Amino acid sequence: MKRAVLASLLLILTFSLSMAAQLPNYTLADVAKHNSSTDCWMVLNKTEVYNVTAFLSVHPAGPSPMTPFCGKDATTAFNNVGHSSSAVALEATYLIGNLVASAISVSISPTTATVTAGQTQSFTATVTGSTQGVTWTSTSVGTVDQNGLFTAVSAGTGTVTATSVEDKTKSATAQVTVTSSGGGGGGVSVSLTPATASVSVGGTQQFTANVTGSSAGVTWTVTGAVGTVDANGMFTATKAGMGVVKATSVTDPTKSASATVSVTQSGAGCSLTSAKGSFTINCIPASAIPSARYTCTAKTSGNSTVVQCRSGSGSRGGEGGGDD
């Protein structure tokens, strides 16, 4: 019995090898294009390409164990299951070609670079075996355009990668070290004028940022909930209190400058103290209401009450009151 099974497997293997010799060649990139349940190719036995699309619906365990491997090498996963000889025999039905190494290769130059934040570095990709070029990507220390021009953003170590358009399994990577600007290195620095300001509620104050080592300008922010600042550094005071206006370099967000803003209440500030049958109004500064004897009338309309006062003859300092 064992001899019969062994002979069958040997026959299947021989048949498969014979068929494979007559079938077309595919790269892993070719297989990767067929990666859905409606178009499913996969690699088995490391060197053979199978179109198992039709088999998904009749697979004893359903399509779900197989679909994750559509467009990929499923050799290890298939062998780990321990399929029966009859299952192995089915392979020949779906064999469509041989897996060969891609002729495409990618190299990048330079392979390492050190760039100051805010500066640029040009990378060049060389692709053999394809005329479709590469796509460029980079990690968070900077950005790279589709011509390979890298712009350093923040200090740290990252990579720039060129990937073949035709065969996405082929790529080349360069290591990039971004150093912080400043520290005598001629990088980005930010200064702000004026460094302090006092503004009345409703008033404005123009701040000016001076950036060296970059032409990308700054972003403006304000804290303390005392006002707003626009993209040109114009601060508008909205509420009394203390706040901070900050200008941050676009090129190097680690570089910024701040100014302290004191917002004061515009005009007179008055408070009201009520008592049974009377009320007292206290205003700062004292000149807001001249000392005199007043006759007052209160009129209520909707949610507000308006008090109108007229001074009488003679002056009696500090008295105030109302008749309603």
Of the candidates 228, 245, 264, which is a domain's last residue? Answer: 264
Which structural domain range is residue 213 located in? 189-264
Lowest mean pLDDT among 27-31, 92-96, 290-294, 302-306: 302-306
Is 147 part of any domain?
yes
Q: How many domains does the chain have?
A: 3
- Nearest Cα neighbor of 106 from 33, 29, 166 is 166
Is 312 part of any domain?
no
Q: Three-class SS string for 100-139?
A: CCCCCEEEEECCEEEEECCCEEECEEEEECCCCCEEEEEC
Q: Give the other-Cβ count within 10 Å of 31's Cβ.
A: 22
Same domain, 194 and 259: yes
CATH number at residue 49: 3.10.120.10
pTM over 0.85: no
Q: Which pLDDT value is given to residue 302?
A: 79
Same domain, 92 and 145: no
pLDDT in tens, 236-284: 998 888 899 999 988 888 888 998 899 887 666 677 777 777 888 877 6
Is 113 part of any domain?
yes
Same domain, 92 and 109: no
Is 37 part of any domain?
yes
Residues in CB range of 111: below 8 A, 6 or more apart: 174, 175
Is 34 part of any domain?
yes
Average pLDDT, the chain: 83
Residue 231 token pair: 């993209």
Residue 83 token pair: 């399929």
More confident call, 15 vs 255: 255
**What gap in Å lies between CA 243 and CA 174, rounded to an integer?**
44
Is 278 part of any domain?
no
Cα–Cα–Cα angle for 11, 13, 14, rounded to 5 degrees? 65
Is 197 part of any domain?
yes
Of the candidates 239, 264, 289, which is a domain's last residue? Answer: 264
Same domain, 75 and 109: no
pLDDT in tens, 35-83: 999 999 999 998 999 999 999 999 988 999 999 999 999 999 888 887 7
**8 A C-beta contact, residue 205 and residue 193:** no
Of the candidates 99, 127, 148, which is a domain's last residue? Answer: 99
**8 A C-beta contact, residue 271 and residue 282:** yes
CATH number at residue 114: 2.60.40.1080
